[in-house]
Amino acid sequence: MHIGRFALAVAAASIGSVVQSQEVERGSGPYPAIFEERADLPNHVVYRPSDLAPARSDRLPIYVFGNGGCSADGTSSRNHLLEIASRGYLVIASGTIPRAAAPAAPAPAPPRPGAKLTTETETRLLIDAIDWAQRENNRAGSQFAGRIATDKIAASGWSCGGLQALTAAQDPRVTTSVIMNSGFFPDGTNPLSGVVSAKALLKTLHGSVLYLLGGPTDIAYPNGTDDYRRLENIPAAMVNIPVGHGGTYMQPHGGVGAEVVTAWLDWKLKGKKAAEARFTGPECGFCNDPRLTLERKDF
C-alpha cells in the first residue's frame, strides 16, 4: 500500500488554538486529519478531521487516549490517532505537543527499592476530555457545535495509559473500552504512583471491551490476558498481534493495530455491519487473519 506523507501546515481554527506545523500523516480515511493544542483544553492534544463540515451529517464519536508510559507527549502515538480521526472520530490524547528539544537533564537517581514510579499525566485528563467534548458540542459558536456524537464514547490507552483507560471506563458515559498492551497488575504489585490498578474494577466495566495485546513477548501479555479471562457478562474480545509491547502505533497509518481498533469502533460506536462482520460469526474477517489471533466472548 502506498504511504502518503504530507507537509501539514495547520491554520488555527478557533480563537486560542495553538497548532504546530510539521510533516505528519493525515490518516488513510475519508476525512484527512490534523492534530492541535487548544487554549480551552489545556494538557491535551486534539486529533480531528481538518474539514468539520461533513460532521454535520456524520457526527464524530469520541475516542480519549492515555499515552504509553502515561507520558505527557500527546503525539507519541500520532499515526494511530490520526488514522482513527481520519475515519470520522474526535480523538483526544492526554499531554501536549513537544516543542524544540531542551538540553538533556541529568539522569534521575534510580528509585529506592519498593518505591513507586511517578507518571507525567493524571487519569482525570481522560474524563476532562470527555467533559470538554460534550460542552463544545453544545456551546454556541463552537466549531464543533452539533458535530460530536456525545453519547458514543471510547476510553483507550497504551500500556500505562491503558490502566488510565480502565479507570476512566468506569464513567457511565463510556460506551466501549479499548485496552492496548496493558492490563491490571496482580493485586498488591502495582509499581505506579497515582495510577489505579485493581482487578475488582473489571467487574464494574460496562458496554464492551477490546484488549489488543502484542503476543507472548509483550510485557503486558500476562496482565491483559488475565483481565480478559476474568471478564464476565460483558461483550469482550482479545486480539494479539505478535509485535511485542511496542505495538504498531507509529507504523504507517497505525499499522494493523489501528485497523483492528477502527473496525471495533465502527461496530460499537457507529453500528456498521461490515465492521461487525470482522469480529462476529464463524467466518469473521479477523478469525483467520494470519496477522493476528482473535478470541471472543459474550457476543
What is the model's pLDDT at position 104?
A: 53
What is the model's pLDDT at position 103?
A: 56
Residue 81's Cβ-count burial label (10 Å; 0-12, 13-18, 19+) is buried
The dihedral formed by the CA atoms of 288, 294, 295 and 299, expressed in degrees to the nearest 10: -80
pLDDT tens column, 64-100: 999 999 999 999 999 999 999 999 999 999 999 998 6
Q: How many CB atoms within 10 Å of residue 296? A: 15
Closest CA to 191 of 222, 160, 156: 160
User: 203 Cβ partners below 8 Å, 6+ apart?
Assistant: 232
Is the pLDDT assigned to residue 135 strictly greater than 90? yes
Lookup result for grid cell 479471562: 229
- For residues 31-56, average pLDDT: 95
What is the model's pLDDT at position 65?
A: 98
pLDDT band at 115 (very low <50, low <70, confident <90, very high): low
pLDDT tens column, 186-243: 999 999 989 999 999 999 999 999 999 999 999 999 999 999 999 999 999 999 999 9
pLDDT band at 44 (very low <50, low <70, confident <90, very high): very high
pLDDT tens column, 258-275: 999 999 999 999 999 999
Strand-pair category, 176-180 with 148-158: parallel
Lookup result for grid cell 460496562: 206
Helix-, strand-, coil-residue percentages of the chain, each rounded to 5? 25, 25, 50
Which helix (H) or strand (E) element contains residue 80? helix 78-86
Closest CA to 209 of 297, 282, 80, 83: 297
Average pLDDT, the chain: 89
User: 156 Cβ partners below 8 Å, 6+ apart?
Assistant: 63, 64, 65, 66, 162, 165, 177, 178, 179, 180, 261
User: 48 Cβ partners below 8 Å, 6+ apart?
Assistant: 33, 34, 35, 36, 60, 85, 90, 91
- For residues 131-142, average pLDDT: 97
Q: Which of the residue ranges 109-118, 165-174, 277-286 would you say has the lowest mean pLDDT?
A: 109-118
CA 257, 1, 55: angle at the middle one, nearest 5? 65
Cα(285)–Cα(295) distance, rounded to whole angstroms?
13
What is the model's pLDDT at position 118?
A: 84
Q: Which of the residue ranges 6-20, 121-135, 162-176 would you say has the lowest mean pLDDT?
A: 6-20
Neighbour-count burial for 16-36, b at 16+ CB within 10 Å, e otherwise = ebebbeeebbbbbbebbbbbb
pLDDT band at 112 (very low <50, low <70, confident <90, very high): low
What is the model's pLDDT at position 39?
A: 96
pTM value? 0.89
Cβ 237 vs Cβ 206: under 8 Å: no
- For residues 148-159, average pLDDT: 98
Which helix (H) or strand (E) element contains residue 148? strand 148-158
The letter for the amino acid at 261 is: V
pLDDT band at 12 (very low <50, low <70, confident <90, very high): very low
CA 121, 47, 213: angle at the middle one, nearest 5? 65
Compute the half-sphere exposure of residue 32: CA atoms within 13 Å on the CB side of its CA. 12
